Amino acid sequence: MLAEFGYGVLMVSFIVALYSVGAAIFGVRNKSDAVIESARRAMLLTFPLISLSAATLIYLLVNNHYEVAFVYEVTSRSMPTYLKVTAWWGGQAGSLVFWSWLLSAFASAVTLRKWDRDREFLPWVIVVTAITLAFFLGMVVFYENPFARYWQDINGQLITRIDGQLLTSVFTPVIGATTFIPDDGQGLNPLLRHPGMVIHPPMLYLGFVSFVIPYAFAIAALVTGRTDDRWIRLTRRWSLWAWLFLSFGLVLGGRWAYDVLGWGGYWGWDPVEIAAFMPWLTGTAFLHSVMIQEKRGLLKHWNMVLVILTYALVIFGTFLTRSGVLSSVHAFAQSAIGPLFFAFIGITFITSISLLIWRWPELRGETEMKSMLSREALFLLNNLLFMSVLVVCFWGVIFPLISELATGAKVTVGPPFYERATAPLFAALMFLMGIAPLSAWGHSTLNTLGRAIWKSALAALFLTVVLFAVYTKNLIALIAFFLIALVLFVTMQEFWRATRARQRAQDENFFTALARLIGRSRRRYGGYIIHISMMLMAIGILGIEIFQTETQGTVAVGESLDISGYTVEYKELANWDVPVRGNPQVNYTRAAVSIFKGGVYLGELYPRKDYYYDSQQNMTIPGNRSTLRDDLYVLLVDWQPISANGATFKIYVNPLVNWLWIGSLLFLFGVIIAAWPDKDPEQEPVRVNKRARQMSAAD
């Protein structure tokens, strides 16, 4: 009965979400505050309902109800309880429930805010969030039901579809059918049992779902004709936190790939990686662009386009992961929901663009851009570069689909295409990060920028010359190091200049002045900290992209492999099972290797292969020695029986890669500072477009 109960609650949630849409629209058309309030309460009701269904699903997962197909597919008796809980988002059907649960939580939180000043936004925010929620719930209720069960006929034979696949259904498919209960489940994919995967998908989902809220307010602004910047101020924190979650999800995914995929790196330009990266690009551009609208009243059209694109790419990324149309280590199996996702993306995108075109005349800027070197002009150029990277990524992702439609053969696009196409764009972005903080709003000249940047540029050039002398002669690397150093020195100069000025004005010590400076302008200086963190991450990316070395060889016990000054000596091989409840859960095959550099013994590493009996899949765990200078990354590729004493190793040396993880932690700190509100948005003044106000009065 639990399966029927969980499914029934989901069905009720779907109906309530649809009611919320209808009631909100009806309330607006009939100017009925009572009906709009009913729609708001219906939206609030979706969260406890979906929570109840999710709790039912978790109970089934934890208590080994293998008659439920989803539980059978993602858990086994040997899995610990925490993994059974996280299996909720480890399979397709459960992940859609998780997506819906998060969206209902965020939509409910938004509807609980004070609406006195922005009452006209409320019904349309409800409409947008409820339509999105109803779509995902519809996918769960009608196509990817996590409560469907296996059935057998009166002869004990499993009931199958016409194509021979097992039939799953919540309710009895034929008269006399009974529930079939397997003895054990298949178990979660070993790649998903890594600690990073416990956090990585929720972070991405949090980022995806959070971006729905700014989109909902943007659509509400278009529908109601509120062309001021109020919707931006109301969603500022949502946008920043969405960006934080999405950024952190990408970093965690990179760490997961580094630890268990055996790539020797953190990023392989995998289609699903790119699907999560694309809304990050538009979200980053949006966060920069909204500052121009708030400060100068410009780029209103552009901001609407960016938030619409971000929402569309969020749904598109979810579509790519769950449709099975692209090959990926991240993607779920082939599914019938792909066309429905595609249709939903098309309908929402066309509707959004139509609204934007309708309100286009009212979204004209309040001032003009008078200088190509002003801060707003440089921010706009920054956005165009982000969009250029997006075009490269989008083309690379959809090219296999286009090639298959045109030629019948799916031609994939590999990392070299992305790296060559995006490298100059990222270099230009770094250069802009160096000069944009020094430009002024409204007007700047080459002379003023030159006077502001020359000290930092000279220091960056000196550091580059030192690196040329002692580290590398690679021209591309030296250009990149110069740009990284330029951004770091400019940003630190901005901190130093402002802190010293406050010291003199307030008679404070340096650290007190710095802390209070950041506290008074969290958004600005949090952004500067993010810039510093991204340059530290760029050092790690540069190190592994340009300086990585690798080798592979088969050696006997006592023999060694040499790479980049390291000597890796094969010592021994061990193999054993780890039992759980009397049955083997996983088989470990572990090699021990000794590491030397310049004849000096550095220690031992233990690369291994884990074989999971429940899912019948392997997972590769590297042996890794990390320093700020480089990582020595050793993989056990293959081995002969222990008596034969032979094993094959693949070894990478990844210079500077740990700066990527250090930068990631600083990045988290910077976003938290930037997202912390300077002022309650309820009390903030609103910039009103005079032209729009005149047009509204004329109407």
Residue 645 — very low, low, confident or very high, per pLDDT cuts 50/70/90?
Answer: low
Q: What is the pLDDT of residues 535-594, one digit of tens each?
A: 999 999 999 999 999 999 999 989 999 999 999 999 999 988 887 655 567 889 999 999
Residue 643 — very low, low, confident or very high, per pLDDT cuts 50/70/90?
Answer: low
Contacts of 374 (CB under 8 A, 6+ apart): 439, 440, 441, 442, 443, 444
**Are 588 and 618 in contact, with CB atoms under 8 Å apart?**
no
Q: Is the dihedral of CA 521, 306, 321, 636 positive or negative?
A: negative
The 3-state DSSP class for residue 578 equals strand
Alpha helices in 264-413 (DSSP H): 271-296, 300-323, 338-358, 375-407
φ, ψ for residue 186, nearest 5 deg: -75, -25
**Residue 128 structure tokens:** 């947008």
Q: Return d(Cα 444, Cα 441) in angstroms, integer.
A: 8
Q: How many CB atoms lie within 10 A of CB 493?
A: 17
Contacts within 8 Å (CB) and 24+ apart, 621-629: 621/259, 621/260, 622/259, 622/262, 623/591, 623/593, 625/595, 626/658, 627/658, 628/656, 628/658, 628/659, 629/655, 629/656
**Residue 479 structure tokens:** 């250009």
- Whole-number Cα distances in Å, 325 to 407, 445, 486: 16, 50, 43
Q: Return d(Cα 454, Cα 462) in angstroms, integer.
A: 12
Residue among 549, 333, 295, 303 at smallest CA distance from 440: 295
Q: Locate tokens 């250029």: which residue? A: 388
pTM for this model (two decimals):
0.89
**pLDDT, average across residues 643-660:** 88
Q: Is the pLDDT of residue 227 over 90?
A: no
Q: What is the pLDDT of residues 86-133, one digit of tens each?
A: 889 888 889 999 999 999 999 999 998 888 888 899 999 999 999 999
Q: Is the pLDDT of residue 478 over 60?
A: yes
Q: Is the dihedral of CA 110, 111, 117, 119 positive or negative?
A: positive
Task: Give the DSSP H or E segment for 663.
Answer: helix 658-675
* Angle, in degrees to the nearest 10, between helices 300-323 and 212-224: 140
List the helix and strand counts (H, then E) for the chain.
21, 13
**Are 25 and 127 in contact, with CB atoms under 8 Å apart?**
yes
Q: What is the CA radius of gyration of the chain?
A: 28
Pairing, β 583-597 against β 549-556: unpaired
Most confident of 355-369, 497-511, 622-636: 622-636
Tell me the percentage of the chain whose pLDDT exceeds 70. 92
Residue among 339, 345, 328 at smallest CA distance from 273: 328
**pLDDT, average across residues 226-254:** 89
Q: What is the pLDDT of residues 135-178, one digit of tens each?
A: 999 999 998 899 998 888 887 788 876 666 677 788 777 777 88
